[in-house]
């Protein structure tokens, strides 16, 4: 039971370490964020509700948005051409509010597999897909994805033959990336919604493949 | 014939968006992305002149030599024009 006596220094009933309470002093940048936010509110440039609304808007974004984009590209050749030409505009045309996001879609083909990383920090197409998974931000993924992408892919369960060229994309600057996977076999006649359910978050990062029906 | 470029080997202090593992490496321009404000000034709130931004494609052989898993796999990164020199 959650509130039976237990030892907080050990593991939770589900076997995970307890996260320490955030009792440490604020860092310089945490104090700076609070100071700037309070000044902006005091001076009437925004209010707390507006800050909360932005957090809600970001939390409402999810990989489902990207899955809808990919599924449409699988079924609509004209849209796919627009997506590969200008992915930001193609997403906006579908009604997604992606703000100033500069998006590039990279296409997997029978002989090419694409994979996304940001070695410098954690750049990710948040305005389309929402927040990145924790592992995407780890030093381990960031360092290994560019040096041994095939080993990393195998750990994700994707074992590609030597005949497949792997293209790793390091989002070092102003662009963000989404992988357009190949449409899985056996999906003829499926609707866009049914297809979108096959598109996983990891398939859009390139560390996974879409589900098969 | 794609344009061959080399990333400069300079190591300036401050906010730089060119990963160290690409310094001195040669690749080809995959596409030009247009002008973007230089983050080396933007990060400090300074007036930032625009720089042309390119996607540059490197082979894993160029980056890692014999340690590469597969020499013909590639790495694409966005590099600002003032960091590139023609080869």
Structure tokens at B12: 């300036």
Contact A170 B76 (CB under 8 A): yes
Residue A211 domain-assigned (yes or no): no
Summarize pLDDT for A183-212 with one digit per residue, the tens.
999 999 999 999 999 999 999 999 999 999
Answer yes or no: are the C-beta atoms of B72 and B14 closer than 8 Å: no
C-alpha separations of A203 from A32, A66, A168, A208 in Å: 37, 10, 14, 4
Residue A53 domain-assigned (yes or no): yes
Contact A174 B76 (CB under 8 A): no
Whether residue A47 sits in one domain with residue A4? yes
A123 given a catalytic annotation: yes
Whether residue A102 sits in one domain with residue A54? no
Q: What is the overall mean pLDDT for chain B? A: 96
Query: How would residue A15 be classed by pLDDT, with cut points 50, 70 and 90?
Result: confident
Residue A210 domain-assigned (yes or no): no
Q: Which of B41, B35, B75, B69 is nearest to A119 (CA)?
A: B75
Whether residue A177 sits in one domain with residue A146? yes
Q: CATH number, domain at A177?
A: 3.90.330.10
Q: Which of A61, A59, A57, A74 is nearest to A199 (CA)?
A: A74
Q: A interface mutation test: which of B70, B71, B84 has the most A CBs within 10 A?
A: B70
Contact A151 B80 (CB under 8 A): no
Contact B36 A119 (CB under 8 A): no
Answer yes or no: are the C-beta atoms of A203 and A213 closer than 8 Å: no
A121 given a catalytic annotation: yes
A91 given a catalytic annotation: no
Contact B33 A175 (CB under 8 A): yes
B74 touches chain A (CB under 8 A): yes
Whether residue A112 sits in one domain with residue A42? no
The Cα A63–Cα A128 span in angstroms is: 7
Summarize pLDDT for A138-174 with one digit per residue, the tens.
999 999 999 999 999 999 999 999 999 999 999 999 9
Summarize pLDDT for A53-100 with one digit per residue, the tens.
999 999 999 999 999 999 999 999 999 999 999 999 999 999 999 999
Whether residue A128 sits in one domain with residue A72? yes
The Cα A176–Cα A205 span in angstroms is: 11
Query: How would residue A1 be classed by pLDDT, with cut points 50, 70 and 90?
Result: very low
Residue A41 domain-assigned (yes or no): yes
The H-or-E segment that residue B40 falls in is: helix B39-42
Range of the domain at A49: 1-60
Q: Determine which one of A91, A118, A181, A203 is catalytic.
A: A118
**SS (HEC) of chain A:** CCCCCCCCCCECCCCCECCCCCCCCCCHHHHHHHHHHHHHHHCCCCCHHHHHHHHHHHHHCCHHHHHHHHHHHHHCHHHHHHHHHCHHHHHHHCCCCCCCCCEEEEECECCEEEEEECCCCCCCCHHHHCCCCHHHHCHHHHHHHHHCHHHHHHHCCCCCCCCCEEEEEECCCCCEEEEECCCCCCCCCCCHHHHHCCCCHHHHHCCCCCCCC
Gap from A130 CA to chain B (nearest CA, Å): 22
Whether residue A22 sits in one domain with residue A71? no
Whether residue A86 sits in one domain with residue A135? yes
Between residues A111 and A11, which one has the greater pLDDT? A111
Query: How would residue A6 be classed by pLDDT, with cut points 50, 70 and 90?
Result: low
Q: What angle do CA B30, A147, A116 make, to 5 degrees?
A: 55
Using the predicted structure, report yes or no on whether residue A13 has a pLDDT greater than 90: no
Whether residue A147 sits in one domain with residue A46? no
Structure tokens at A203: 């398939």
Pairing verdict, β B84-86 and B74-80: unpaired
Domain boundary, last residue among A60, A75, A109: A60
Using the predicted structure, report yes or no on whether residue A31 has a pLDDT greater than 60: yes
* CATH number, domain B4-86: 2.30.30.50
Whether residue A118 sits in one domain with residue A79? yes
Whether residue A161 sits in one domain with residue A128? yes
Residue A150 domain-assigned (yes or no): yes
Using the predicted structure, report yes or no on whether residue B23 has a pLDDT greater than 80: yes
Gap from B25 CA to chain A (nearest CA, Å): 14
Residue A212 domain-assigned (yes or no): no
Name which of B17, B33, B70 is nearest A166 (Cβ-Cβ): B70
Task: Give contacts of B42 with chain A, Cβ < 8 Å.
Answer: none
Handedness of CA A93, A96, A97, A98 (dihedral sign): negative
Contact B77 A172 (CB under 8 A): yes
Using the predicted structure, report yes or no on whether residue A2 has a pLDDT greater than 70: no
Using the predicted structure, report yes or no on whether residue B39 has a pLDDT greater than 90: yes
B78 touches chain A (CB under 8 A): yes
The Cα B31–Cα A28 span in angstroms is: 40
The Cα A27–Cα A31 span in angstroms is: 6
Minimum CA–CA partner of A170 in chain B: B77
Task: Give contacts of A172 with chain B, Cβ < 8 Å.
Answer: 17-19, 77-79
Answer yes or no: are the C-beta atoms of A169 and A40 closer than 8 Å: no
Q: Which of B36, B17, B34 is nearest to B83 (CA)?
A: B17
Instruction: Provide the ipTM.
Output: 0.97
Whether residue A84 sits in one domain with residue A36? no
Name which of B70, B74, B78 is nearest A172 (Cβ-Cβ): B78
Domains in chain A: how many in total? 2
Query: How would residue A35 be classed by pLDDT, with cut points 50, 70 and 90?
Result: very high
Using the predicted structure, report yes or no on whether residue A102 has a pLDDT greater than 50: yes
């Amino acid at each position: 039971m959650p509130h039976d006596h237990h030892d907080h220094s050990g593991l939770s009933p589900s076997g995970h370490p307890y996260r320490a309470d955030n009792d440490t002093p604020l860092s310089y940048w945490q104090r700076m964020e609070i100071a700037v936010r309070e000044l902006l509110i005091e001076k009437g440039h925004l209010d707390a509700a507006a800050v909360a609304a932005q957090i809600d808007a970001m939390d409402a974004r999810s990989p489902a948005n990207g899955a809808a984009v990919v599924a449409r590209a699988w079924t609509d050749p004209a849209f796919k051409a627009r997506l590969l030409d200008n992915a930001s505009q193609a997403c906006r045309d579908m009604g997604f509010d992606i703000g100033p996001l500069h998006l590039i879609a990279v296409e997997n083909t029978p002989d090419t597999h694409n994979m996304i990383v940001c070695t410098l920090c954690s750049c990710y197409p948040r305005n389309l897909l929402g927040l990145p998974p924790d592992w995407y931000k780890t030093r381990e993924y960031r360092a290994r994805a560019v040096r041994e992408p095939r080993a990393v892919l195998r750990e994700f369960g994707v074992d590609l033959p030597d005949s497949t060229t792997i293209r790793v994309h390091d989002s070092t600057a102003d662009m963000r990336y989404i992988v357009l996977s190949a449409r899985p076999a056996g999906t003829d006649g499926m609707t866009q919604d049914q297809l979108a359910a096959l598109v996983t978050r990891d398939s859009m990062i390139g560390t996974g493949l879409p589900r098969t029906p | 014939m794609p344009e061959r470029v080399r990333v400069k080997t300079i190591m300036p202090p401050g906010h730089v968006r060119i990963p160290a593992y690409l310094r001195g490496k040669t690749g080809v321009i995959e596409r030009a992305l247009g002008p973007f404000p230089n983050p080396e000034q933007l990060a400090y709130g300074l007036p930032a002149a625009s720089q042309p931004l390119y996607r540059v494609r490197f082979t894993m052989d160029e980056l890692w030599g014999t340690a590469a898993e597969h020499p013909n796999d590639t790495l694409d990164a966005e590099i600002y024009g003032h960091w590139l020199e023609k080869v």
